């Protein structure tokens, strides 16, 4: 057992976390390209914290243009052991109103053309995504969200759409018929890549709007989203601090820590050395066994 290093990916409206001690912005290079921004590295008590603004400070990067592989890679290089993602989402159900938080436990990926794996020709791997989030970290996030005063819905299916446009009404009705609870543009392939990097992952969806499925109501627009972001971000900062302060000093291992042991399939003698070099951070533990 060892200590925690919690990675936090901040979504729309959450570009910093107050209360991190001895922190500084650091540059980390990645063989997968440039991450969204520098990482802010510090501590809260005995917990090391690494914060990365998903869209960059000032919200410079569109969901479709995020270099998610680089983001996950630099977090892994900085020693992150567990990854909390905070994302702004729309609600697809009546009882999850703007201002509420959903702790997602399932995803449907409707993104298009985004690189969704670190692996490929020359080093093939197939990780299980049956249960795409870490139950331990998700439970800790749920407790922290409740302590921060947010209506907290534990469990829910996140529909990941491509964007950057919002849904058509037909799409919104379709996603509701599939049983989805929230909709966003960034949860995938982020959750897939976190699993390939053996990072236990949890996603907190901060609801800003009702998408466009409600009869007789205006469709979502950026002005509506921005109006809700500030209140959500304050709750999110409080949630993060509650979570970090509640962690025990020792971090017990989880099966996700070693999930690549059951995923690598390419025979060692035909593995691509160039791809293996790029995988040094995310898969080095398994590849070097």
Check if 82 is active-site: no
211: left (phi over 0), alpha (psi -120 to 50) or beta: left
Long-range contacts formed by 280-283: CB under 8 A, 24+ apart: 280/31, 281/30, 281/73, 281/76, 281/77, 281/197, 282/72, 282/73, 282/76, 282/118, 282/196, 282/197, 282/198, 283/118, 283/119, 283/125, 283/196, 283/197, 283/198
Q: So what's the pLDDT on residue 78?
A: 98
Active-site residue identified among 22, 211, 272, 280:
211
CATH of domain 5-287: 3.40.50.1580
Q: So what's the pLDDT on residue 1?
A: 52
CA angle, residues 114, 119, 123, in degrees to nearest 5? 155
Check if 280 is active-site: no
Active-site residue identified among 95, 153, 209, 280:
209
Q: So what's the pLDDT on residue 198?
A: 98
Find, among 170, 150, 162, 148, the residue nearest to 238 by Cα: 148
- Before 213, cis peptide (omega within 30)? no
pLDDT tens over the chain, length 289 residues: 589 999 999 976 676 677 888 999 999 999 999 999 999 999 999 999 999 999 999 899 999 999 999 999 999 999 999 999 999 999 999 999 999 999 999 999 999 999 999 999 999 999 999 999 999 999 999 999 999 999 999 999 999 999 999 999 999 999 999 999 999 999 999 999 999 999 999 999 999 999 999 987 777 777 777 778 888 888 999 999 999 999 999 999 999 999 999 999 999 999 999 999 999 999 999 999 8
Find, among 289, 217, 285, 288, the residue nearest to 81 by Cα: 285
Instruction: Locate the domains of the chain by residue range.
Output: 5-287
């Amino acid at each position: 057992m060892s200590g925690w290093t919690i990675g936090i990916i901040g979504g729309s409206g959450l570009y910093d976390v107050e209360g991190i001690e001895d922190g500084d912005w650091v540059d980390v290079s990645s063989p997968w390209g440039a991450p969204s921004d520098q990482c802010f590295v510090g501590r809260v008590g005995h917990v090391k914290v690494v914060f990365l603004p998903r869209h960059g400070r000032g919200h410079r990067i569109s969901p479709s243009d995020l270099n998610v592989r680089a983001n996950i890679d630099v977090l892994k290089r900085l020693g992150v052991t567990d990854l909390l993602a905070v994302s702004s989402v729309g609600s697809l159900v009546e009882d999850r109103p703007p201002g509420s938080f959903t702790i997602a436990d399932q995803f449907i990926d409707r993104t298009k053309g985004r690189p969704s794996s670190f692996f490929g020709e020359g080093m093939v791997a197939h990780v299980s995504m049956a249960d795409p989030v870490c139950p331990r970290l998700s439970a800790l996030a749920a407790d922290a969200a409740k302590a921060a005063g947010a209506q907290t819905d534990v469990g829910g299916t996140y529909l990941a759409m491509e964007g950057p446009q919002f849904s058509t009404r037909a799409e919104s009705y379709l996603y509701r018929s599939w049983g989805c609870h929230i909709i966003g543009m960034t949860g995938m392939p982020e959750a897939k890549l976190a699993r390939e990097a053996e990072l236990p992952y949890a996603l907190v969806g901060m609801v800003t709007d009702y998408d466009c499925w409600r009869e007789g109501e205006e469709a979502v627009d950026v002005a509506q989203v921005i109006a809700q972001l500030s209140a959500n971000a304050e709750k999110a900062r409080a949630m993060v601090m509650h979570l970090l302060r509640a962690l025990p000093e020792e971090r017990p291992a989880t099966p996700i820590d070693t999930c690549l042991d059951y995923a690598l399939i390419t025979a060692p003698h035909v593995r691509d050395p160039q791809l293996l070099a790029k995988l040094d951070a995310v898969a080095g533990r398994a590849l070097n066994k």
